[in-house]
Chain A
């Protein structure tokens, strides 16, 4: 009984300790597959052309996991595995920027053979990043013979903006675009022990974009 109460209390505390996040998802889709994608595979890749930011590999992994965990029939190929198999054709310098550029890649017989072997039906490009927008407060920590502790208060804001572009690999066409933005404020009050109240901004953006992609790819959603 005590253990159950303890778990409930812990879960309630954890819920309360999560900062608030606001998320918006925009979707524009054409030619949605009605029967799902069958035994074909999907690959999710991060765009890494911008000089001042980079789409986080963790975010790409998160979206892939979100899709494959909710519909196990969808095979999502790992980003690194895919770009290694097709090296050097999907490096930031050489990656196709438009669906029509795929034809230039398919001129190389080994690339065409590898693509056929991988059964890649959809290629999803994600571009964006999560940034810290503001921060305020101060905290002092000290250590002495009697122990250690912190005192103060800190707060910071995060904003995420990601856009996923879906390419139909067979038709060499863009078939959809999903945009998600999320923002949230995190807090860290400290009276002896710092208590972080983190707003899961990137995680919310991942769930938002993952759900929309799932609706596109899965026959069950």
Chain B
């Protein structure tokens, strides 16, 4: 009898322990859910980017992505208790998009071994492009009361020689937005807006590259025949050799 009582007590105790275990797990899950709700909302931008449909420019172009660019991320801290912080990581998508755009835009695209500078041994190319993200801003419907998610970016593009001498530097902006959609999370919508902004960056770069004054001048210099200085032994003599050369050219 006592044995059965002990057994019954044990079973009750086991039941209590099981109940407490479930309670503990439930509390832990609730705590985790609350903690995760307080953490920043993170978007790692992912997307597919199309190859540009154009005749490639007859240039062997180098590209160098510095670490800040290839791991670019944007952090926006929450302004109040009702807001949440945001981390938008665009680095991987940036390099993916620029690789596709530049490879389609130029006859050959070469990834530089190191940052172009005088001492750096690099591949031989016509010029090197170095893109930078200077600024990124985003807006979600909670901020603006407009039913669109927006991403705005400002780029700085440096164009240098392989030894790092500047050819040109210009800024360009890109903008992407996406409407609110049923069953679409804020994260998915921000990702989509970022992909649209990246596509816009590619479109802006392609359509305006040759219009950048420094680039235009550089292209003109390249297409111009090399200037020939008349070298004559006798300064009184005309320079027939130079004239001939000019005629041939």
Q: Is B181 an interface residue (CB 8 A)?
A: yes
Q: Is B40 an interface residue (CB 8 A)?
A: no
Which of A88, A93, A109, A114 sits near B55, CB closer than 8 Å? A109
Which of B54, B147, B148, B204 sits near A93, CB closer than 8 Å? B204
Interchain CA distance A111-B54 in the complex, whole Å: 7
B interface secondary structure, majority:
mixed
A interface secondary structure, majority:
loop
Check A91–B148 contact: CB distance below 8 A: no
Q: Is B179 an interface residue (CB 8 A)?
A: yes
Check B53–A85 contact: CB distance below 8 A: yes
Which of A58, A93, A110 sits near B53, CB closer than 8 Å? A110
**How many pairs of A and B residues are in contact by the CB < 8 Å rule?**
55
Check A87–B53 contact: CB distance below 8 A: yes
Which of B178, B202, B204 sits near A54, CB closer than 8 Å? B178
Q: Is B130 an interface residue (CB 8 A)?
A: no
- Nearest Cβ in chain A — how far from B38, in angstroms? 22
Residues of A within 8 A of B46 (CB): none
Check B202–A88 contact: CB distance below 8 A: yes
Task: Indicate whether A88 sits within 8 Å of B52 (C-beta atoms), given known contacts A53-B179, A54-B178.
Answer: yes
Check B181–A58 contact: CB distance below 8 A: yes
A64-86 contact mask (Cβ, 8 Å, vs B): 1 or 0: 00000000000000000000111
Interchain CA distance A114-B52 in the complex, whole Å: 12
Interchain CA distance A111-B178 in the complex, whole Å: 27
Given A53-B146, A53-B148, A87-B52, 18 more A-B residue pairs with CB atoms under 8 Å apart are: A53-B179, A54-B148, A54-B179, A56-B179, A56-B181, A58-B181, A85-B50, A87-B199, A88-B53, A88-B203, A89-B53, A93-B204, A93-B207, A108-B53, A108-B55, A110-B53, A110-B54, A129-B179
Binding site for B on A (CB under 8 A): 48, 52-54, 56, 58, 84-89, 91-94, 108-111, 114, 129, 131
